[in-house]
Amino acid sequence: MLREGGTMNVGLYQGASAMNAYERWQEAISQNLASASVDGYRRNEASFESVAQNLAKLKDGKGEVQKTVKSVVPEMQTKLNQTAGAIYHTGVETNFAIEGEGFFRIRKPDGTLGYTRNGNFRMSPERTLVNQEGFTVDGDNGAITFRQEGGAILLNPQGVLVQGTQQLTKLSVYKFDKPNEMTRVGDGLLAPAAGDNARPVELSPILQGVLEGSNVSSLNEMVNMITVSRAYELARKVVETQDDSAGKAIQSLGNPVS
């Protein structure tokens, strides 16, 4: 007689897996809403796939597997939506926005690199170009240092920073083969997918005195939040129904009719 891990558990497992996937989707939406006003932010985009899994193994009285129950469970994956955000004017000479593909490269004090679309930069007390966290913005030859004597900062059509009449260095932009698979590494920075090496973008126009906003639509995210809440509630009811059915079956088997 087959027993242990019957098919009644499949529905339970599917429902619980769905609840877990919807919780992750809700977390992604919450992060999008919290970062809707962050310049250059790229929204989390959820996708669902049906993944085949072995959910239960049916065994005979000797403990030998006679049959494996297969089914599918939902699995959520999150990728970054790389649609450009809206450009808005600031008039600040150290604010930049990339018009096209690519990312600015940021170097932390420990030497680790991160990438961002947020060009809200400033001049540090050491007269280097840094982001709002104080991390160095990379040029063609590392850190971008401005002249002690000062002067207006301009970006020419070739992407080279000019102060007064002196050319400083090019404001570098880098691209990746799989930008949607980049991951967040803290401090508003992104890291490329494993094996996806940064490549310089030669002709990516950079605008000065403007910033790129996030690509999050708060209205759309609120609609998604309502959708996921309803889906989660349905999955929860499935789990409760399956659990109730299993409990009744166990009770019935434990109290056989004479």
Q: What is the mean pLDDT of residues 163-177?
A: 93
Does pLDDT of 202 surpass 70?
yes
CA distance 129 to 124: 6
Does pLDDT of 4 surpass 50?
no
Q: What is the mean pLDDT of residues 22-39?
A: 92
Q: What is the mean pLDDT of residues 194-220?
A: 93
CA distance 51 to 3: 25
Provide the number of structural domains found in the chain.
Answer: 2
Same domain? For 33 and 52 the reply is yes
Residue 193: DSSP 8-state: P
Same domain? For 47 and 117 the reply is no
Q: What is the mean pLDDT of residues 200-217?
A: 92
pLDDT at 243: 59
Would residue 162 count as lying in a domain? yes
pLDDT tens digits for range 83-103: 999 999 999 999 999 998 999
Does pLDDT of 56 surpass 60?
no
Does pLDDT of 212 surpass 90?
yes
Would residue 1 count as lying in a domain? no
- Residue found under tokens 């789990």: 239
- Of the candidates 9, 20, 3, which has an alpha carbon nearest to the alpha carbon of residue 235? 20
Instruction: Write out the residue range of the structural domain in which residue 58 sits.
Output: 8-82+216-254
pLDDT at 3: 40
**What's the predicted TM-score (pTM) here?**
0.76
Q: What is the mean pLDDT of residues 164-168?
A: 90
User: What single string gives the DSSP state of each residue in 31-68?
Assistant: HHHHTTTSTT---EEEEEEEEEEEEEEEE-TTS-EEEE
For residues 43-80, b (16+ Cβ closer than 10 Å) or e, as one string? Answer: bbbbeeeeeebebbeebeeeeeeeeebebebbbbeebb
User: What single string gives the DSSP state of each residue in 168-204?
Assistant: EEEB--EE-S-GGG-EE-STT-EEPPTT---EE-SS-
Same domain? For 69 and 146 the reply is no
Which residues, listed in sequence order, are joined to residue 68 by a DSSP beta bridge? 57
Does pLDDT of 10 surpass 90?
no
